[in-house]
Amino acid sequence: MEKKSVSLVLSSGGARGIAHIGVIEEFEEQGFKIESVAGSSMGALIAGVYAMGYLDKYKEWLLSLNKTDVLNLMDFTFSKSGLIKGEKVFKTMRSFIPDKNIEDLDIPFTAVATDIINEKEVVFDKGSVYDAIRASTAIPTVFTPVKNDDTILVDGGVLNPLPLNRVKRNDGDLLVAVDVYADIPCEECKDEDSEQKLNISSKLNIPAKLKIIDNHKKGQQNPGYLKLIDYATRAMIFKLAEMSVQLYKPDILIQISRRSGNTFDFYKAEELIETGRKAARESIEKYKKESS
């Protein structure tokens, strides 16, 4: 039987976006053929690596990371435009995943970023895959932006966290969206003891007011500086993603709880991949029942 064609769109979401890997693997295992991909921020990274044909290598690397490894990949700069340069992680990735031009990929790939000078969305559908990913993942105030002559590019999630309007469509395909900002319960989530959490500020002697990840719990007063930004950003992105779903109506919507992980929880790769796999399986089963 001919495999069903899928045009796949992956949302932004920091480390939660690792769940996209499980989604991709589940769709392939169930006989779907992913023929085009688009993404924003972490979704752009996973989509780009997949389109280049190196998702297995990237997954293997992620699964090898512990908390210390994640910390060591963060090249802090404390410049006026961001706390992390982001060069170290991409240099490491380039050591085992070579760059390619988007137009040379077998699977069409699109990434989105935000031009904050001209207040518009920027779509990458040609040129270096790494350049597209770097621009799309530049979380404002966290990662330094990508600066050109007349543009400053930051995270695509600022304007289009779930770029359903940017993926290349194929005749008779299924439009599949993966949203890792969903405001739904998280059955798999585990409450860790505060001492076991990844606390960058304490390990690197960063002032308490500049905590990148803190142990703040919802309802408590005085969240850390970037935790406050994170809360505000999540609320904005959730609403934008929700509007995108309502406007473009994907055939299959896979929702992953925003509570499944924090921005820098890359050491939780195995858990997040399984979360994505489970969510995809449930959504596929639902689709098959409704379409039978």
Give catalytic residue positions. Answer: 41, 155
Classify each residue of 98-134 as buried b or exposed e, where b means 16 or more C-beta atoms within 10 Å of its C-beta.
eebebeebebbbbbbbbbbeeeebbbbeeeebbbbbb
Q: How many CB atoms lie within 10 A of CB 144?
A: 22
Q: How far apart (Å, rounded) are the C-alpha atoms in residues 288 and 127? A: 38
Question: Which residues, 6 or more positions from 95, have their beta carbon under 8 angstroms from its beta carbon?
Answer: none
Q: Which residues contact 109 (CB under 8 A, 6 or more apart)?
A: 36, 37, 38, 47, 48, 51, 102, 125, 129, 132
What's 100's DSSP letter? Answer: -
Task: Find the length of the chain.
Answer: 292
169: DSSP letter: P
**What angle do the packed helices 55-63 and 19-29 form, to 10 degrees?**
130
